[in-house]
Every structure is written in C-alpha cells, then in structure tokens.
Amino acid sequence: METIIQTYQLTKAFKGVTVIQPLDFSIQKGEICALIGPNGSGKSTLFKMLAGQMRPTSGDIQLFGTTGSDVVHARRRMGFLVETPAFFSDFTATQNLTYYQIQRGIVEKQRVDEVLDIVGLANEKRKRFKNYSMGMKQRLGIALCLLSSPDCLVLDEPINGLDAEGIREMRNLLVQLNQEKQITIFISSHILTELQLLATRFVFIKNGVIVEDVSKDSLQQKSRKQLRLTVDDTAKTAALLEQAYADIQFTVLPHQVIIIDNHVESSGEINRLLLDHGVSVSEFRIESRNLEEYFLELVGGNDHD
C-alpha cells in the first residue's frame, strides 16, 4: 500500500505556543481520512503545512515517499482546498477555472469542462460566481482542486456552512472521486456526524495532539447500544454482574447509574437477576451511544487556535 502523506515529529509553534505537538501520522492510498477536532485544535495549521503555505517549526513531511525539495514537485499531485479560493465574482465558473488553468500551466484545454462535469456544475458554468449558492461555490472549489488531476485531495472544512442538501451533494461527490478515480482524501471538520457517512478512518485532534485514530468499523463498535441502569446499590449490582457474566463490561457513574456495554441482548435476564437479589432498579433502558457526545468529551475544550 502506497503511503501518500507521512509526517515525522512534525511541530508548529507560534510565538512560543506549540500548536502542533510532535506528530507522527500517515495516510495510505485510497483512504478517506477525516480529521476532527474543535476549532483551534490545529487542523488548519496541519493542512497549511501540508500545502506548503506554512513552514513547520521542526520535523518532516513526506508526500508520496519524497522528502526535502522533492516535496514541492510531489505537491503537484495533490489538490488543496485549505482556504477559500479567490474566485472573481463577475467571472463565470468557466472563466474562473480557465484563469487558474493558464496560471498553473495546465495544457489540456478540455480539462475545465471535465472538472465542471465531475463536480456537477456543467449546467451552471455560464453563471457568474457571485450568483452561486454556498454549495455551488464549494463545488467550484473542488473543481479547482481537480484541475491538475491530483491523486490526493486535502480539504479543510469543505462542508462548513452548507445546508443538508449541499452536504449530501458534497459527500456523494467525494465518495465518487474516491471510488471511481481512486483519489485519496484527507478532510477536516469539527462536526463528526457529517463525516460519518463519508470517511473510512477518523482521526481526532485536540490541542495539536492526536487523541484517537479509529477505523469506520471501530467507530461503529463504539456507537453500539448499551444498557443504562439506575439502582439503589451500585456495589451489590457490580458484584452480581461480575458473578453472572465473566466478561461483563460496565462503568459505574455518579447518582447510582451503571452503564453496561455488552450483553445488551440479555437485558431481561440482567433485570431479573437484580430484582431476584433485592436490588431496587428505578431506571432500566437500552440506549445508543451518541458518538458526537463521546468525541466531544474526548476532544472537548480547546485552548488556542
């Protein structure tokens, strides 16, 4: 498997404040990797370093296995949407992309029409940019990324500010690019639910440190159902559970609450077991774990931008 992006002990500090702590991180070909964290967690800083818009304080970045001065050449195989592209408001989509095509020395004349077609703007290409909806503007940004036929897209918050329809269109477009054109995608957001249907891997960042890196399967495991009990005697309940189920996984919370993570299918038996042994159960319900809450706890709170 080809490694597209690799960082070694990458750091970034501003005025003595370290925004990216020593970071060892890699992305493999074909992944859709979501970088998730609150605003100010270091997402944009990392993306700007990858894009060459910002120099690391220390450490190294490898792109497509190249390092040093060769990284500049390797960046041509990548499309970056790290800051809102400067499009001319009175230009049409075609005129805007043609301007960048000439500026970047891309010779295939038909490429502008191709990318507008890929992002679903072929019928809107004569409309002026200022008359575009937010979703259309974002798709034109992706079209600009695709001009040079990249192997990897790095997208910073491309679904920010989009409505539900715009988010769905963007998601479908990115999945299509990944599956049909085998483009590797590294995408950031502070909203997990929007990326859950898109990404194959989820990396959570807080204060410049990766606090969790999980596959889609692991994420789904974490969102499994669980049992929530409120009892009059948590110590007795814990002892009964451990006696009855050798591999029971549970957490005792304040206010006499116990959360059981496995054996959810045995909820009836568990209820009966407690009642038979004189434990008073005032609440007993099955609930799905809210992933958004779980990861907000994980990355919650941030100190700097």
Question: pLDDT per residue over 193-240, tens digit each?
Answer: 778 889 999 999 999 999 989 998 888 777 777 899 999 999 999 999
Tell me, what's the pLDDT at 19?
Answer: 95
Burial class (CB in 10 A: 0-12, 13-18, 19+), 95: middle
Cβ atoms of residues 229 and 283 within 8 Å:
yes
Token pair of 105, please? 């020395």
Tell me, what's the pLDDT at 290?
Answer: 63
Low-confidence ranges of the chain (pLDDT < 70): 289-294, 296-297, 299-305
Burial class (CB in 10 A: 0-12, 13-18, 19+), 175: middle
Show me where the domains of the chain are located.
3-220, 225-288
Which is nearest to 57 in space by CA: 26, 23, 6, 80? Answer: 23
Residues facing residue 49 across a β-bridge: none
The string of pLDDT tens digits covering residues 142-179 is 999 999 999 999 999 998 888 888 888 899 999 999 99
The dotted CATH code for 3-220 is 3.40.50.300
Q: Which CATH number fits domain 225-288: 1.10.3720.10, 3.30.70.260, 3.40.605.10, 3.40.50.300?
A: 3.30.70.260
Tell me, what's the pLDDT at 300?
Answer: 64
Tell me, what's the pLDDT at 302?
Answer: 43
Shared fold status for 3-220 and 225-288:
no
